[in-house]
């Protein structure tokens, strides 16, 4: 397959003002997307939503102009989470959806992600078609064919009602004390409404976005403030979303973080016991071996996909399964949503707690974690670096030394200029030591 020039594992992403994250590029991308995606449905209309980064205004306006120049209609949703935009794309029978967000990255980065008419990530073929259109001269359709833009004022309310509809009718969150961290991101309005309307007693942090503070010391990538809030308020648990709302991590009543692997495991076990788990579970190359072993002990099939929720989604569809995700908190249940949805995933876990009458700490403890050490190494060309013969040798030798007691994974980040070095084994000190040695050698190669 032709190598992509602009698209990574999750759309197009970069630092604002440099590379591709400019108003000029967004204008051209909007026209190209309109040409390729506008025809995916008879509506010839594309929805646009964004997170709370200050650069979202600039990119939204440029994309709108580009789409209009291609003759494609535009529906503006305003600040909305990635999964909300996926659902609204499908609900409104639009041709496609565009998300302006760099997810868990700092405010100075931004990104542009796409969904097809079904609210699913684009195929490689469609991404390559958009890139091919980008190489063509910029042309504008005749004035009478220009696309019109319309703002959807009740988009947030529609999505809140949908999220609530995924929670079992016979259950309630009344009496549950929850600390909620919205990462100063796209869910700052919708998430509190969902949990409050289902009856929870909330303490909310990370719900005052200013355009610059998204993911800054808060959210699923920085859960320390949420851990403190859970302990200070005596909450039953905490919920940490990320900037664009497609990830969730949780914190138990003692302040311990419960990652995506353990959340997936406890949901899978509960559904399996009730005879409601469709097939097996899909994780990724980064999923903890403890999850794989725990699922195997329950007789639940488990398979690993490449890192990235789009690859989890592809393998789920291929197998005809519904549940999967990543340790980072991207959790997919295809019975409920077409992409990872932090709010809906949290509700899925809360439903298990309510149905079993047990605490998050009790249920999470049923999956033993293998000690895992992850070190990020900065690299200008991470994809090239991991192909270096020395890196290949280091990986092979380390895996041989661990044998059946652990594993090593060295990979390029799909969203940042980093090489990720992961070591997982039975002894924590061994994982830390080996990861440090490998990272140091790779850092020398990078320099």
Supply 138's token pair.
């910029």
**CA geometry: angle 183, 156, 74, nearest 5 deg:** 105
CA pseudo-torsion sign 69, 70, 73, 77:
negative
pLDDT at 381: 87
Question: Band of the pLDDT at 284, cuts 50, 70, 90?
Answer: very high
Lookup: tokens for 177: 């004390």
Average pLDDT value for residue range 62-85: 98
* Measured distance between the N- and C-terminal CA atoms of the chain, rounded to whole angstroms: 30
The whole-number pLDDT of residue 1 equals 61
Question: How are strands ordered across the β-sheet holding 45-50?
Answer: 12-15, 109-115, 96-100, 45-50, 73-79, 149-151
Residue 29 CB contacts under 8 Å (≥ 6 apart), including other chains: 12, 63, 66, 112, 130, 134
Task: Specify the DSSP element, H or E, that contains 46.
Answer: strand 45-50
Give per-residue pLDDT as tens, 10-33: 899 999 998 899 999 999 999 999
Q: Is 103 a catalytic residue?
A: yes
CA distance 81 to 243: 8
In order of their start, the domains of the chain are: 12-155 (3.40.120.10), 174-257 (3.40.120.10), 259-341+351-364 (3.40.120.10), 372-446 (3.30.310.50)
Phi–psi pair at 55, nearest 5 degrees: -70, -10
Question: Residue 108 burial by CB count (10 A; 0-12/13-18/19+): exposed, middle or buried?
Answer: middle
426 φ/ψ angles, rounded to the nearest 5 degrees: -70, -25
351, 396, 406, 424, 425 from 403: Cα distances, Å: 39, 11, 6, 11, 10
Residue 413 has pLDDT above 90, yes or no: no
pLDDT (tens digit per residue) in 184-236:
999 999 999 999 999 999 999 999 999 999 999 999 999 999 999 999 999 99
pLDDT at residue 2 tops 80: no
pLDDT value of position 55: 98
Alpha helices for 92-176 (secondary structure H): 124-134, 155-165
Which residue has better confidence, 130 or 309?
130
Mean pLDDT check: name the lowest of 57-71, 137-151, 297-311: 297-311
Q: Which residues pair with 150 in a beta bridge?
A: 75
Name the active-site residue from 55, 69, 95, 103. Answer: 103
Choice among 53-57, 105-109, 122-126, 406-410 with the minimum mean pLDDT: 406-410
Q: What is the mean pLDDT of the chain?
A: 95
What is residue 372's predicted lDDT score, i.e. its pLDDT?
87
Helices (H), 81-223: 82-91, 124-134, 155-165, 190-197
Counting beta carbons within 10 angstroms of the beta carbon of residue 315, is it exposed (0 to 12), middle (13 to 18) or buried (19 or more)? middle
């Amino acid at each position: 397959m032709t190598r992509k020039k602009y698209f990574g594992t999750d759309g197009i992403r970069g630092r604002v003002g440099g590379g591709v994250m400019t108003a000029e590029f967004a204008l051209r991308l909007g026209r190209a997307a309109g040409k390729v995606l506008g025809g995916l449905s008879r509506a010839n209309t594309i929805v646009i939503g964004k997170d709370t980064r200050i650069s979202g205004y600039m990119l939204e306006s440029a994309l709108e102009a580009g789409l209009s120049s291609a003759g494609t209609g535009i529906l503006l949703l305003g600040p909305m989470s990635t999964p909300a935009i996926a659902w609204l794309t499908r609900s409104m029978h639009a041709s496609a959806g565009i998300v302006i967000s760099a997810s868990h990255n700092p405010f100075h980065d931004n990104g542009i992600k796409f969904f097809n008419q079904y609210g699913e990530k684009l195929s490689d073929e469609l991404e390559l078609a958009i890139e091919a259109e980008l190489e063509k001269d910029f042309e504008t359709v005749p004035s009478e064919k220009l696309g019109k833009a319309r703002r959807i004022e009740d988009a947030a309310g529609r999505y809140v009602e949908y999220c609530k509809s995924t929670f079992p009718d016979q259950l309630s969150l009344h009496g549950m004390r929850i600390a909620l961290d919205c990462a100063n991101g796209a869910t700052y309005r919708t998430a509190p409404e969902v949990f409050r309307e289902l009856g929870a007693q909330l303490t909310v942090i990370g719900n005052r976005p200013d355009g610059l503070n998204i993911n800054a010391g808060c959210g699923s990538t920085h859960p320390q403030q949420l851990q403190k809030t859970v302990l200070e308020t005596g909450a039953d648990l905490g919920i940490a979303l990320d900037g664009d709302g497609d990830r969730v991590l949780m914190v138990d009543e003692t302040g311990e973080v419960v990652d995506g692997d353990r959340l997936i495991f406890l949901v899978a076990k509960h559904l399996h016991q009730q005879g409601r788990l469709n097939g097996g579970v899909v994780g990724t190359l980064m999923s903890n071996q403890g999850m794989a072993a725990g699922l195997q002990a329950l007789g639940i099939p488990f398979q690993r996909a490449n890192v990235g929720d789009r690859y989890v989604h592809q393998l789920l569809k291929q197998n005809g399964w519904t549940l999967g995700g990543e340790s980072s908190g991207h959790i997919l249940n295809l019975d409920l949503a077409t992409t990872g949805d932090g709010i809906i995933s949290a509700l899925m876990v809360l439903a298990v707690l309510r149905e079993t009458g047990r605490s998050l700490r009790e249920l999470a403890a049923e999956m033993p974690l293998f000690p895992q050490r992850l070190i990020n190494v900065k690299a200008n060309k991470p994809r090239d670096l991991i192909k270096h013969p020395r890196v290949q040798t280091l990986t092979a030798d380390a895996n041989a030394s661990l044998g059946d007691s652990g594993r090593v994974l060295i990979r390029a980040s799909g969203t940042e200029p980093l090489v990720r070095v992961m070591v997982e084994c039975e002894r924590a000190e061994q994982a830390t030591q080996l990861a440090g040695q490998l990272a140091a050698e790779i850092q020398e190669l990078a320099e």
